[in-house]
Amino acid sequence: MIEVLVKNNVICSIGHSTANIDEAEAGVNSGASFITHLFNAMQPFHHRDPGIVGILSSVKLNRKCHYGIIADGLHTHPAALRIAHRTNAQSAVLVTDAMAAMGLGDGSHCIGSQSVTVTGKKAVISGTETLAGSVVTMNSCIENFMRNSGCTLVEAVNCATKHPAQLLKCADLYGTLDFGTVADFVIIDSDVNVLATFIGGDCVYKSDNFVGFFD
């Protein structure tokens, strides 16, 4: 199935699975190039069978395999972020796992017909402690990843821009600011607060705190 999808230009991902390391390697070598939500809803790492997590350091792959990691401060422990980054920094892709309640504040919300309760940065299925996606923004994930992994701001930003573009095979247009690329970008401060957002070179958002040469 993976081979058929790849031949039809579908980017395939593995994850949310109990696959062992052999099955995971077979999936990648068949054409899969991404791991969904590393560490979450998959077989835990074991020294005899590291499962999908083992893809990060496998030497039996015929292609590069990026991995998505939810750096919201809840889905993935800081130690797990460090392990992933130090094992394979160049393949990391930051994921928010954000759902419809992002930005709406505390209270009861819905994902389709599913009731969700949001408290602070945590979203759970109402009446349980089961995480129901996330309500954090990408700049928060960048800051969390930088602080918890020990990487630089440039490295963290690459995980939210350059690496996803490489995965999606559109790095010639997106993910960097280079000649010929699309002028979609944000301006942030040293604390990763968004000061301004540009789409196609046009400013579509500007923080009250932003004063710059685009005025």
| Residue-level pLDDT at 164 | 98
Confidence (pLDDT) at 215: 55
Rounded to the nearest integer, the mean pLDDT of the chain is 94
Quick: pLDDT tens for 178-208. 999 999 999 999 899 999 999 999 999 999 8
Q: What is the pLDDT of residues 119-157, one digit of tens each?
A: 999 999 999 999 999 999 999 999 999 999 999 999 999
Please tell me the predicted confidence (pLDDT) of residue 112: 85
Model confidence band, residue 213 (pLDDT cutoffs 50, 70, 90): low
- Residue 209 reports pLDDT greater than 90: no
Kindly list the distances between the CA atom of residue 18 and the CA atoms of 24, 52, 57, 76, 87, in Å, as whole numbers in the listed order. Answer: 10, 8, 18, 18, 21
Q: Write down how long the chain is.
A: 215
Distance CA 12, CA 92 (A): 16
DSSP assignment of 61-123: -SS--EEEEE-SSSSS-HHHHHHHHHH-GGGEEEE--B-TTTTS-SEEEEETTEEEEEETTEE
Specify the pLDDT at position 111.
83
pLDDT tens for 52-101 read 999 999 999 999 999 999 999 999 999 999 999 999 999 999 999 999 99
CA distance 78 to 86: 12
Residues 153-180: pLDDT tens digits? 999 999 999 999 999 999 999 999 999 9
Specify which residues 69 forms β-bridges with.
94
pLDDT of amino acid 208: 87
Question: Residue 214 pLDDT more than 80?
Answer: no
pLDDT value of position 212: 63
Active site residues: 97
pLDDT computed for residue 210 by the predictor? 82
Segment 106-111 shows an average pLDDT of 91
Helix, strand and coil percent figures for the chain, each rounded to 5: 30, 20, 50
